[in-house]
Chains A and B, each alone.
With several copies, the nearest count.
Chain A
Amino acid sequence: MSPLSNQAARVLSMLRTMQIIREFEEAAGRASYGGEVRGSVHQYVGQEAIAVGVCANLRPTDYISSNHRGHGHSIAKGADPIAMMKELYGKADGTCGGKGGSMHIADFSIGMLGANGVVADGATIAVGAAQAIKVLKQDRVAVAFFGDGAINRGPLMEALNWAKIYSLPMLFVCEHNGYAATTRTADVTAGGGFVARARSFGIEGEEVDGNDLLAVDAATERIVARLRAGGGPGFLFATTYRHHPHNTRDTGNYRTRDEIERWTAADKDPIARTVAWLLAQGVSKAEIAGIESEAKALIESAVAAARAAPLPEPAAAFTDVQDIGAPR
C-alpha cells in the first residue's frame, strides 16, 4: 500500500479526534438519559468537523473559548476525555474537580478558557484574552466558538466592534446549525445574519460547509495565518447541523424527521464524509475501523474510569472561592 500523503495523514489524525468526540458525546448522552450524569448535556454530534478543523490550526499556547455545547471544542484543543468524562460524572479528579460539570469545562493548561453557560459570554471573554495577548506582546491567537443563536446578543456584537478597533488576533467561529434551542434562528435573525454583520464591522472571513473537514481546515489555516501576521480579527462562518435535540432535556419535536434524515445521511455527516475521502486516498477500511474501535475503547474506558472514580469531599465546596473572607 502506497505511503499516505501528508494531507491524508493529517486528515487521518483529525478523523481520530472527530471519532473520539462522537463517541464521547454519545456516551455522555446515554449517561445523561440514564441518570448517571446530572443536569443536562448538550451534544456536539454532527458538528465535529468544525472544532477539529479549526483547532488543528492552533498551538497549545493559543486560546479558545466555548459555549454550552463545549465538549467537542475541548477535546479538539487537547483536553483529556477521561478527565472530562469524570467531570460530567461529578468526580473529584474531573477536569474541574466536579465543580463545573458539562457546561463549565475548562483546561487552562492547553489554552481552553472555558465552556460557558451564558450564551455569547465565551466569545466576549476570548476577545479579552486576545487583548491580553496584545498587552503582553505575545505570539498567540484567540478563538471563540459560538452558535447562530448567540449572534443576536448585544455583547457579541460589541465584541466584533471591539476586536476590530484594537486589531486583535481574534478568530470568531460561528457554528450555524439552524437552531437556538427550539427556535429556528432564521425566524429571529434579521438581514444578512452573522456574515453581513461581521463585514459591517470591517471584519473579513470565510463561509464554509461546516461538515466538510478539509474545507474548515483549509479556511482556518488561511485566516489564522493572517491573524498571526497581525492582520487583525477574522471570522469563520460554518454551516452545520446538530444530530440530536438541543440537550438531553429537549424533545427535539420542532424538527421534521425528514430534515434530520437529510442531515444525518452519509453525504452530510462530517465523519462519514471524511472517511469517504480517506478511502478515496487509499486509506484502508481496516485502518478506518481501527480508528473507530480505538475511539470506542477509549471512551468506554473513560466511562468506566468515571464510574469508578471517587466523588469529591463535601468540604471541597468551600475551596477556590475568594481567599480573603470565609465562604461561610
Chain B
Amino acid sequence: MTMELTYAEAARLALDQEMERDPRVWALGEDLGPEGGLAGQYKGLQAKFGPDRIVDTPISESMIMAAGVGAAVAGTRPVVELRFADFAMCAADETVNQAAKIRYMFNGQARVPLVARQAVGMRGGTAAQHSQSTEAWWVHIPGLVVAMPATPRDNHGLLRAAIRCDDPVIYLEHKALWNIKGPVDPDAEPVALGKADRVTRGDDLTLVTWSGMRLECAKAAEALAKQGIGVELIDLRTLWPWDRDMVLDSVARTGRLLIAQEAVKIGGFGAEIAAEAAEALWDKLRAPIRRLGAPRTPVPFSLPLEDACRVTPEQIVSTATEMVASRS
C-alpha cells in the first residue's frame, strides 16, 4: 500500500526495514541518536534498535569509515553515515585504499558490504564546504558502487538495494531533497542497482541527469514539450554501474544527447557519458553532445553568485532548443 513520504522519511523507512530483516545491519555516525540525523533520516531508530546498532560517534571521520570497513569484513553490514560529501573527504583514504580494494587485493577472501552515506549538493547558502557534488571521484575508483537517488521512492528502493549489496556502495543523497514528498510503496522490491529511470519519453533529444538535477530537468522537459520538442529524460539513479544500454539506445533513436549535472562540469561524470556516446554513436548523432554543469569554482555563498553556478531549467531549455535547431 503506497504512502506519501519525504525523501528523508523514505530513507528512514528503508533502514528500519533492513535492520528488522537482518540483525547484521547497523549504522554509525555523528548525531544519529537524539535528533535522528541532520534530516531525521534516523529518527527513532536508536530508541528502537539500541545504541549498539544505531551508534553515535565522535567527530572522527577516518575512524567512522574504517570502523565500517573493519566491521564489514568481520561479518556485519554497516551503514556508515558521513553526513556531507565534503566531510567524507576526511575518509577518502579509508574509502579508496581500504573499502574499495580489500575484496580484490585479498582475492575474494573477504567482501566489504557497507553503505557510505554522504549528502551532496547545494541547499541554499550552504557555501563552499557544505555543497559539493563528488560523484565523479567515486565512479573513477575501482570497487565502488555509486548510487544517487532523486525521489523518495528511489531513496527507499536504492538504500535497501545498497544495504543488500555485498560490495561497498557510495550512497549520495541530495540535501535539497530531504523534504520533498512522493509516493513510496514499503513492500516494493528494492530498485536494482545499475538500472536508470526513464522519466519521460521523447524522440527529439535525450536528456541524461541524476540526483537533484532531475527536478530541474523535469521542468525543462515540460517546457520543451510545450514547444513541441520531445525530450526523453533519463535519471541514471546509479552512476556506477550506469545504465549504458538505456542511454545509448535512446540516443541512437533521438540523435541528440544533453547531459545535465549539478557537479562541476570539468572532469564530471557527464564527460564519461559523453565520451562513451561519442565513440559508440558518432555517426548517428544529429547534433554535438552537450554538457551542462557547474563552472570550475567553489560554491559561493551569496544568492546571485550561487545562482551563477547553478544549472537552471532555462539553460537546459535553451541548450536543448539550440541542439534541435542545429542541423536537423
* Residue ranges of A at the interface with B (Cβ–Cβ < 8 Å): 37-39, 63, 65, 90-91, 94-101, 103-104, 106-109, 113-114, 116-121, 124-136, 142, 149-150, 152-155, 158-159, 161-162, 165-166, 180-183, 187-189, 250-251, 253-254, 311-328
Q: Do A132 and B75 form a contact, CB below 8 Å, given A98-B301, A322-B144?
A: yes
For the complex, what is the distance from the CA of A302 to the CA of B90, rounded to whole Å? 37
Residue of B58, B59, B127, B296 touching A101 (CB-CB under 8 A): B127
The answer on a CB contact under 8 Å between A118 and B109 is no
CB of B142 within 8 Å of the partner chain: yes
The answer on a CB contact under 8 Å between B71 and A96 is no
CB of B307 within 8 Å of the partner chain: yes
The answer on a CB contact under 8 Å between A159 and B63 is yes
Contacts of A100 in B (CB 8 A): 105-107, 127-128, 301
Contacts of A117 in B (CB 8 A): 86, 97, 127-130
Instruction: Give the residue among A130, A154, A183 with the most B Cβ atoms within 10 A.
Output: A183
| Contact sample, A vs B, 13 pairs, CB 8 Å cutoff | A90-B302, A99-B107, A99-B301, A103-B129, A106-B109, A114-B105, A114-B110, A131-B55, A135-B52, A314-B308, A321-B298, A322-B296, A326-B296
Across chains A and B, the number of contacting residue pairs, with CB separation under 8 Å, is 285
The answer on a CB contact under 8 Å between B295 and A113 is no
Residue-by-residue, is B37-80 near A (CB-CB < 8 Å gives 1, otherwise 0)?
Answer: 00000000000000011011111111100111111111110000
Q: Do A128 and B59 form a contact, CB below 8 Å, given A99-B302, A118-B86?
A: no
Q: Which residue of A lies closest to B57 (CB)?
A: A188
Q: Which residue of B lies closest to A104 (CB)?
A: B105
Q: Which residue of A lies closest to B37 (CB)?
A: A182
Chain B residues 160-204 with CB under 8 Å of chain A are 165-167, 193-194
Q: Which residue of B lies closest to A117 (CB)?
A: B129
The answer on a CB contact under 8 Å between B67 and A181 is no
Contacts of B72 in A (CB 8 A): 128, 132
Contacts of A328 in B (CB 8 A): 265, 295-297
Contacts of A135 in B (CB 8 A): 24, 26, 52-53, 71, 76
The answer on a CB contact under 8 Å between A99 and B56 is no
The answer on a CB contact under 8 Å between A322 and B66 is no
Contacts of B76 in A (CB 8 A): 132, 135-136
For the complex, what is the distance from the CA of A117 to the CA of B74, rounded to whole Å? 20
The distance from the CB of B67 to the nearest CB of chain A, in whole angstroms, is 4
The answer on a CB contact under 8 Å between B104 and A324 is no
Q: Which residue of A lies closest to B108 (CB)?
A: A320
CB of B229 within 8 Å of the partner chain: no
Q: Which residue of A lies closest to B300 (CB)?
A: A99
CB of B20 within 8 Å of the partner chain: no
CB of B143 within 8 Å of the partner chain: yes
The answer on a CB contact under 8 Å between B60 and A158 is yes
The answer on a CB contact under 8 Å between A154 and B301 is no
The answer on a CB contact under 8 Å between B301 and A121 is no
Chain B residues 276-298 with CB under 8 Å of chain A are 295-298
